[in-house]
Structure 1
């Protein structure tokens, strides 16, 4: 098996939104762009990351330091090119985000996912997150989401 070179990480820029929007539905295998409006890169690009490989973007992480919950950071969205999965891109993005969070005096990182996204739940467990049972009504009636919490 050929090992891909480690991705180069950089801070996101608002102009990265168009590149993310162009691939996100394909990377997820379903329409998901509506969950990532442009405002996240307009307002949280300094705490969001882009992973790049020899052929371009291989992944991204959209995250921010909570303005309301002192000591907490939040990962809103992560995507990895299917061709780069299992190559450590997501782990590298998360580890760099943890470093950013620590640098902002944050000690807890949180995230959520859909109840059916068992791949994400397994990944977060491997990354040391506590994974909740589905929380009914998390985003309103008829929704159940799984929450993730990790002390860093």
Structure 2
């Protein structure tokens, strides 16, 4: 099913399409976790997947301007009908290649400790998973931190 999907760099205009579906894709309000600034300022390091012009998935990432060897994935999503197809892995691999080409050595991401699906997905992609970090995003927002070293070759 992934072969039917086109992956391209995101554009600022993709913002409305993405925030228009993420709450439905997650089954809860998450759109506030993705401010417009990410598509305005990091679209060249982000990717959108489409099938026949319909949004199938996305990954919003950036090359850290403060940590020269690090990259960060801020948000990723796949439409429910494409989950389990390998699309999320393809989007991440595209981001890994971009980060590797910029001589980045590590990719990081975070999630809540309750997000078992995200933890399982990132673990399967070779990310290490930290213990919950208390108050990572404020007093009531514990997070786990994902870290994945990049090699010169794919993987």
Query: Which range moves more in the overlay, 48-57 or 26-35?
Result: 48-57
Q: State the superposition RMSD in angstroms.
A: 1.0
Number of aligned residues: 150
Q: Which residue of 2 aligns with 1:120?
A: 118
What TM-score results when the alignment is normalised by the length of structure 1? 0.95
Q: Which residue of 1 aligns with 2:102?
A: 104
| Residues 96-144 of structure 1, C-alpha deviations (whole Å, 9 max, x = no match) | 0000001111010000001110000000000000001110010111221
Q: Which residue of 2 aligns with 1:44?
A: 42
Q: Is the 8 A contact 1:115 1:144 kept in 2?
A: yes
| Residues 20-53 of structure 1, C-alpha deviations (whole Å, 9 max, x = no match) | 0110100011000000000000000000000111
Q: In structure 1, what is the Cα distance between the partners aligned to 2:140 and 2:69?
A: 31
- Extract structure 1 runs of 4+ deviating beyond 3 A: 3-6
Q: Which residue of 2 aligns with 1:84?
A: 82
Aligned-pair CA distance for 1:6: 4.2
Q: Please, which runs of 5 or more residues in structure 2 have no aligned partner? A: 151-155
- Pairs within 5 Å for 1:3-152: 3=1, 5-54=3-52, 56-152=54-150
Q: In structure 2, what is the Cα distance between the partners aligned to 1:6 and 1:108?
A: 30
What TM-score results when the alignment is normalised by the length of structure 2? 0.94
Q: Please, which runs of 5 or more residues in structure 1 have no aligned partner? A: none
Q: In structure 1, what is the Cα distance between the partners aligned to 2:48 and 2:137?
A: 27
